[in-house]
Amino acid sequence: MLNVRPGFVTDRERYLREAPPFSVAIDGYVRGGPWFDENGPRQNFNHHEDVPRLETRATCAQALLNVRQGFFDTFRDAHGPRVAVDANDCDQDVALTWFLFSTSSLARTVSQPALNRLVGCVDLMDATGGAYPFPEDAPILEEMAWIFDPYVRFRLSGEIDKMDAASYRGIIEAVCRRIGDYVNGRGRSKPLELGYDTIGGGSGWIMVRETGGQARTKMFADGIRAFVSVRETAHGSLVATFCRSGPHVRFPIQRIFARLNAEEPADLRGAWGGGDTIGGNHRVRRTTHTLASLTRCVNEEIAASATR
């Protein structure tokens, strides 16, 4: 069973109280690093907060390894495998994770070269926010562009901001059908869309609007190691993603989030956050920041960190 609540986030204590047995939260539905509660059983697969991003597997890779290491020995009842997956997004990591749980007999089979390759590549791309140095002509990138095109169109069109659960579920199901085709040798390829517009920035970072679904592959190839990707929603607010290619890049992402939160009205503080290399603002909780104030906060925190 798949439960989709767009934008919803809870914590471990509440999830343990409210989620029924055999529940699995994925990819940020429950805040914090991964954990397993054998008394449920219940589980959280996540890599967004409270973990070193590059040292932690993406949610789909956590799921695949667990499925192959006995997950369904515990998550089962008298009728067989049983899992209720809770998700708050419909991106590549979420869709691939649901595919693994919903096709558990296939996922448990180690000799699945296409599936193994796909999970490995999504793991790398998701852990790095899309800023992994795959060559632009790598065939797997065009295969992934086709597999995940329903989600990319959904995000770039702004439909994702409507937070409609049925639409989110539809995207997950459409992507899963394509994953199934790919795993069974019926996958297709799609030329990469690498476009992005530079609209600002500062010392060591740029601000961009992504116009192509694979823009970050091009950005990394162009030598960009820290960026803020912004888009305007239908209600006029901004959604911004902050990313640096690794923790050694001098871009004080957590200090920036703290500064942005401090300058929000009281009811919006906490809207900004994420891991040590990637994060941004919550799509549900609108921000009062503008492009100018984002730029100012980032540049002031970079300047302040250089003197520490």
**41-93 pLDDT, tens digit each:** 999 999 998 888 888 999 999 999 999 999 999 999 999 899 999 999 999 99
Select from 1.10.287, 3.30.530, 3.30.1120, 3.10.310 the CATH code of 196-306. Answer: 3.10.310
Return all residues near 73 (Cβ < 8 A) that are at least 6 apart. none
pLDDT confidence tier of residue 291, bands split at 50, 70 and 90: very high
pTM of the model: 0.93
**185-210 pLDDT, tens digit each:** 999 999 999 999 999 999 999 999 99
Report whether pLDDT(236) > 80: no
Report the pLDDT value the prediction gives residue 115, as an integer from 0 to 100. 97
Domain boundaries, the chain: 2-183, 196-306
Tokens (6 digits) for 126: 């998701």
Q: Is-contact 16 37, C-beta < 8 A?
A: yes
Angle at 243 between CA 239 and CA 248, to 5 degrees: 160
pLDDT confidence tier of residue 306, bands split at 50, 70 and 90: confident
pLDDT confidence tier of residue 285, bands split at 50, 70 and 90: low
Report whether pLDDT(269) > 90: no
Mean pLDDT, range 218-238, rounded to an integer: 90
Report the pLDDT value the prediction gives residue 282, as an integer from 0 to 100. 74
Return all residues near 138 (Cβ < 8 A) that are at least 6 apart. none
Q: What is the mean pLDDT of the chain?
A: 93
Report whether pLDDT(283) > 90: no
Report the pLDDT value the prediction gives residue 109, as an integer from 0 to 100. 93
Report the pLDDT value the prediction gives residue 261, as an integer from 0 to 100. 93
* Largest distance between two CA atoms of the chain: 62
Report whether pLDDT(266) > 90: no
Report the pLDDT value the prediction gives residue 197, as an integer from 0 to 100. 97
